[in-house]
Amino acid sequence: MIHSQKMYLAILIPLAIVIGVGVFLYVQKNPLGSTTPDVAIDTASQQTTDTLQTGEPSQIQKNTFANNTKGTQGHPLAILDKQRLEDIYAIQSALEHFWDIHGKYPYIDQYLNKVGIEGTSCLNADGFQPTGCADSYMAVVPRDPGLGAYLYMSDGEDYFLRFTQDGKSVQFSEGEGIYDLTKDGIVPLSYVQYVGVAGDSDGDQLGDAEEIAVGWDPNNADTDGDGFSDFVEVMNGLNPNGDGELPNGEMIRQMFLMMANAQL
């Protein structure tokens, strides 16, 4: 155990120093908390470079950075939350159509089955099927536009569609959390309650020392006050202390993930 901790420290301390210096130099030239007016992104010329571990651009980058201007189409994570609601209601409509015809919901014997991907991208009389199923109730089952997935379970009589919301809204006043859509409506399953602990004063799952190193407020779970926690923003490559992308976003995201894993 001691050997393992030393190994983590040997890796994490140099990494943190390198990242901290890089971010510090960047911030000197491009302050994260800059109060300059918002500027619309020129999507014709801008290329996003952050990638997931697979090497592919993340879905959130594909779908939202083109709309990343406040006061026009809103925060990019708000755009994702809105899309999620539209998606699950569309899936619900297809499920109710299935019920009207067959007197049951599509049965899946797998726990929390992901829909909208691989073998569940189409819905017909045989249930969720691969792309291109004939006589479909839903030819293209939507997939979560962020980094997660819509989950479905049903015993034939009841069902739920599980989805996440990243931020607060009129409908989701609790904000960041997991919700189920059932035939009776939306049920809050769990949501993040930010309770400070030693080393994480604001309880946002990002360590105080690391937040201070990159210029965020360790006593405020939502440093820029946009309704999305610092954790949600950094995990999606967005700047928790202002608008736009997080400088060196994927590298910083991996730093926080490594720190979290080291503490387990």
- The pLDDT of residue 139: 96
Could you tell me the residue ranges of all domains in the chain? 1-31+193-264, 78-191
**Mean pLDDT of the region 31-44:** 32
Assigned architecture for domain 78-191? 2-Layer Sandwich (3.30)
**Mean pLDDT of the region 94-115:** 93
> Which phi and psi (to 5°) does residue 130 adopt?
-65, 170
What HEC string does 182-194 produce? ECCEEEEEEECCC
- Is residue 153 over pLDDT 90? yes
3-state secondary structure of 23: helix
Mean pLDDT of the chain: 76
Supply the pTM of this predicted model: 0.68
The pLDDT-based confidence of 261 (bands split at 50, 70, 90) is low
The pLDDT-based confidence of 17 (bands split at 50, 70, 90) is very low
Of 181, 252, 184, 245, nearest to 213 by C-alpha is 252
**Mean pLDDT of the region 17-39:** 39
- Is residue 158 over pLDDT 80? yes
- Give the Cβ contact number of residue 216 at 10 Å: 24
